Amino acid sequence: MDGHDIFSNPLLIINGYPFSFTLLLILGCHEFGHYYYARKHNVDATLPYFIPVPPPITIIGTFGAFIKMRGMIPNRRALLEIGAAGPIAGFIIAVPMLFVGLNLSTIVDLQTVDGGFMLGDSIILKMATDFVFPNLPENADILLHPIAFAGWIGLFVTMLNLIPIGQLDGGHIAYALLGKNHLKLAQAMFVALILMGIFLSMNWLIWAILILLLMRSVQHPPIFGIELPLGKHEKIIGWICLIIFILCFVPTPFG
């Protein structure tokens, strides 16, 4: 994607390190957030597994990372903290990486750009670009540096994980906060994904299909102690995750 032909010169693969290391750092911190809080609550969990996928199956080279929790989650507070720790940790790393990458990016004239694809804007991306490029001409756009592109992907993945459905991170958080009432939110969000897939971007429809194929249900599996009340601390965590979701939401991810 950066214009280097590694088949003619394999040593050019070194030019992919800024993107790869940045993305793996974001994904790794996301998963390590889950791992840390799982161990804090005495839940047996593996270290993160990264899933490599070569192009052209995906342009980013990975289907992300995951940890496997082999123990029972003891209560709703543990579920909330384990679910929220990943997106919060990934967001904390992705935002500064986005700013670093934007400062290394270049401005291009849209009339001279041939090919490529457009990335959708989120609130956090719009705020970052306005800060780094405050006087961007109307006929110009930003050619993202690989580090900025990795930051964009990290924020996008954070937002996807915070969708309050099933066993996504957002599903864990919603179930911990709402208990059995989470199902209404999950069902409404699934319908919203389908509608966004029809009217905004096919990407949302694909994501809805993947959720059905991989999770089989929008409902979160039950845990013990879901009826126990949560404190102010846990509710603040929930609001933080909602704010992160809104800041990272991209109506049309790819143009």
**Contact residues for 196 (Cβ-Cβ < 8 A; gap 6+):** 204, 205, 251
Q: What is the pLDDT of residues 204-217, one digit of tens each?
A: 998 899 888 888 88
DSSP secondary structure of 93-128? HHHHHHHHHHHH-EEEEGGG--S--PBPP-HHHHHH
Tell me whether residue 155 is exposed, middle or buried, using C-beta atoms within 10 angstroms of its C-beta: 0 to 12, 13 to 18, 19 or more. Answer: buried
Q: What is the pLDDT of residue 135?
A: 85
Distance separating alpha carbons of residues 117 and 102, to the nearest angstrom? 17
Question: Does residue 25 contact residue 97 with C-beta atoms inside 8 Å?
Answer: yes
pTM attached to this predicted model: 0.91
Q: Encoding tokens for residue 41?
A: 């609550």
DSSP 165: S
Distance separating alpha carbons of residues 246 and 158, to the nearest angstrom? 11
Q: What is the pLDDT of residue 38?
A: 94
Q: Encoding tokens for residue 221?
A: 């599996």
Distance separating alpha carbons of residues 110 and 1, to the nearest angstrom? 18
Q: Encoding tokens for residue 162?
A: 């915070």
Chunked into runs of 10 residues, the chain (255 residues) has average pLDDT values of: 82 90 95 94 90 74 83 89 96 97 89 72 94 87 91 94 93 92 93 93 89 85 82 92 96 82
Q: Encoding tokens for residue 210?
A: 């993947």
Alpha-carbon distance values, 34 to 84, 105, 158 (Å): 8, 32, 13
Residue 221: what residue type?
A: P
The answer to whether the peptide bond before residue 10 is cis (omega within 30 degrees of 0) is: no
Query: Which of 240, 103, 101 has its CA nearest to residue 170?
Result: 240
Query: Which of 152, 37, 38, 173 has its CA nearest to residue 95?
Result: 152
**Contact residues for 75 (Cβ-Cβ < 8 A; gap 6+):** 223, 224, 225, 228
Distance separating alpha carbons of residues 139 and 20, to the nearest angstrom? 31
